[in-house]
Amino acid sequence: MKPIQVLITSSRRPTKSIRTLMRDLHTVIPRSYRINRGKMSMEELAEVASNLQSNYVLLVTRWKGGPGKIEFYKVWDGELKLFPPTLYLKGIRLQREYPTFWRKLRIRCRSLAVVKPEKEELKKLAKEISKILKAPFVDEAEKENYQVYLKIFEGLGYKAKITFFSTMHKMEIGPALHLKGWVIFEEKIFG
């Protein structure tokens, strides 16, 4: 089995929207693996991640019945260590809400790039996400060389929006994460 870059899971008792978000993320993140956590403790989750040779765990946590936060953990000597950034969600837009329902096309993403945003604070966030996903950090002109690319924008009513685009369909395919803030190495950014 090939090593997994990111293991996607949730906090305990995920809602339907959290499970759907996990599936959507799995379809656009190459070398990812999705599992339902169930009653697994963090130690058991670390063991599963180690067995899958995963470098990171992406954990979608619950807040008021929906996705509230995304945390990344580095798999380190059989343990999980919280790794920046931590993303605080204001809302989401799932793939089924777009004209082209990417997941229903049964296409698995083979190449993902992170496009460099213009604003410096968004650039730091994009760079950290690109490291975790092991996705090249590219200029706008280079994005066409990849099957899917991730972009981060400033938002209206939220601090930033992270979303995915298909180069084949030349359109946004989602999921979109509307952020109210994020934390990178103790640098808190909230709108």
What pLDDT sits at residue 66? 84
Whether residue 126 is contained in a domain is answered as yes
Mean pLDDT (whole number) for 138-155:
95
Whether residue 79 is contained in a domain is answered as yes
- Residue 63's pLDDT band (cuts 50, 70, 90): confident
What pLDDT sits at residue 65? 77
C-alpha 159 chain-centroid distance:
17
Tally of CB atoms within 10 A around 49: 25
What pLDDT digit, counting tens, does each position of 159-176 carry? Answer: 999 999 999 999 999 999
What is the percent of the chain with per-residue pLDDT over 70, rounded to a whole number? 97
Number of structural domains found in the chain? 1
Q: Which helix (H) or strand (E) holds 123?
A: helix 120-133
With tokens 């083979």, the residue in question is: 110
Q: Reply yes or no on whether the pLDDT at 187 is more than 70.
A: no
What pLDDT sits at residue 124? 94
> What is the pTM (predicted TM-score) of this model?
0.93
Q: Which helix (H) or strand (E) holds 42?
A: helix 42-51
Whether residue 150 is contained in a domain is answered as yes
Mean pLDDT (whole number) for 77-104:
92
Q: Reply yes or no on whether the pLDDT at 104 is more than 90.
A: no
Whether residue 99 is contained in a domain is answered as yes
Q: How far apart are CA 88 and CA 100, in angstroms?
A: 27
Structure token digits, residue 136: 């090249």
What pLDDT sits at residue 191? 64
Mean pLDDT (whole number) for 146-156:
93
Please tell me which residue, 188 or 72, carries the higher pLDDT value.
72
Whether residue 1 is contained in a domain is answered as no
Q: Reply yes or no on whether the pLDDT at 108 is more than 70.
A: yes
Q: Are 146 and 168 in contact, with CB atoms under 8 Å apart?
A: no
Identify the domain containing residue 150 by its residue range. 6-190
CATH number, residue 143: 3.40.50.10480
Handedness of CA 130, 91, 88, 95 (dihedral sign): negative
- β-sheet bridge partners, residue 89: 179
Q: Reply yes or no on whether the pLDDT at 189 is more than 80.
A: no
Whether residue 135 is contained in a domain is answered as yes
35-39, 73-77, 184-188: segment of lowest average pLDDT = 184-188
- Residue 1's pLDDT band (cuts 50, 70, 90): low
